Amino acid sequence: MKFDQLLKLVGNEPIFESSLLLAGDVKPEYLRMQLSRWVKAGKIHQLRRGVYTLAAPHQKQNPHPFLVANRLQTASYVSLQSALSFYGMIPDIVQSTISVTTGRTDRFQTPLGNFEFRHILKEYFRGYRWVDVGGQQAFVAIPEKAILDLIYLQPGGEKPEYIAELRLQNLEQLDIQELWKQSSFFNKPKMEKAVKVIEMFVKQEYQQYEEL
């Protein structure tokens, strides 16, 4: 396969997998050699084994970090601080894209940024949706689940001191009923305590707004 053939096949895809190129009379060992050469030549980037993206100037779409995260680990969705920052619910700039996964905890350093994956049980793998991110689509936790995932994975995350440190903002986005619903799936006293604390912060924000 020549590079111009690769461009015709994947030129419109922000990310592609090597398995896509194996159709027809293509020898896997030859394809691996070609891909390795293109990586060394700076024509493509390898994100992980079997997952690639075209490098500039050949790239027609710059992959959104949330899409990259989804493709790096298929059983995952973006959550925790990354999702909260996306919704404008925390003021912090998040350096890595953080997801939860039913797979193992892992970390990837790629030419497109750093990506972290935190393990959760299969029964907690819910509360996410298909979101448009700059013309691309990715699985992202709803605001309520992003907060709960963070609290669940953080030791002492239900304590008022920790939740205060998050400096939650734009809390009008939160649906308290949905928050209780999502917390019930964890079936843990820790999560019930956390929701009560978050409810308190929501009430305080509304009171401050009404006093203006």
Residue 6 structure tokens: 């690769």
Closest by alpha carbon to 85, among 126, 146, 133, 131?
146
Report the alpha-carbon distance of residue 189 to residue 117 in Å, rounded.
25
Phi, psi of 16 (to 5 degrees): -140, 160
User: Amino acid identity of 95?
Assistant: Q
The model carries a pTM of 0.90
Q: Find the angle CA(2)-CA(67)-CA(38) to the nearest 5 degrees.
A: 20
Phi, psi of 36 (to 5 degrees): -60, -40
Q: Work out the number of other CB atoms within 10 angstroms of the CB of residue 160.
A: 14
Report the alpha-carbon distance of residue 197 to residue 14 in Å, rounded.
41
Decide: helix, strand or coil at residue 78: strand
* pLDDT for position 100: 98
Tens of each residue's pLDDT in the chain, 212 residues: 789 888 988 878 899 998 878 766 778 888 888 999 999 999 999 999 999 999 988 888 889 999 999 999 989 999 999 999 999 999 988 999 999 999 999 999 999 999 999 999 999 999 999 999 989 999 999 999 999 999 999 999 999 999 999 999 999 899 999 999 999 999 999 999 999 999 998 888 766 655 54
* HSE-CB for 123 with a 13 A CA cutoff: 6
| Distances from the Cα of 153 to the Cα of 46, 51, 164, 190, 200, angstroms | 30, 28, 17, 11, 21
| Cβ-contact 81, 150 below 8 angstroms | yes
Decide: helix, strand or coil at residue 136: strand
